[in-house]
A = this chain, B = another copy of it.
Amino acid sequence: MTSSIIQEGTSTVTLVNVFTVEPKDQLRLVEHWQRAAEEVIRHLPGFISANVHRSLDGTKVINYAQWESQDAFDAMRHNPEAAAHLRELGQMGTPAPVVCEVVSVHHI
């Protein structure tokens, strides 16, 4: 599957992590997120999706991730392999993670 769904009225926990990077490091950070997601994070309990974005100006990488619960998200951060990836990602840029919930979805 190559799509994720944003929906209101669920118990999904959303993590929006905006990494600030040097433009020369943007692609490297994207590729590291992709590796971390494929090799480790998507196999952890309670994982729903990770959606990696790059800013058009080259200075940011954003991971929009969905977890079944706050507990599942917290457990991920304490998983040794995931934590190792997060530490390496933190060496390539400055993370600003926000744990949130969807309050409303607006369409045409």
Integer count of this chain's copies in the complex? 2
Residues of chain B with a CB closer than 8 A to A75's CB: none
**Do A106 and B50 have beta carbons less than 8 Å apart?**
yes
Taking CB atoms, residues of chain B closer than 8 Å to A42 are 106-108
A101 lies within 8 A of B14 (CB): no
Return 30 A-B CB contacts under 8 Å, by A number: A1-B107, A2-B7, A2-B105, A2-B107, A3-B5, A3-B105, A4-B6, A4-B7, A6-B49, A6-B51, A16-B16, A16-B64, A18-B18, A30-B103, A30-B104, A37-B104, A48-B107, A49-B106, A49-B107, A50-B106, A51-B102, A51-B105, A51-B106, A52-B103, A52-B104, A53-B103, A54-B100, A56-B99, A56-B101, A64-B64
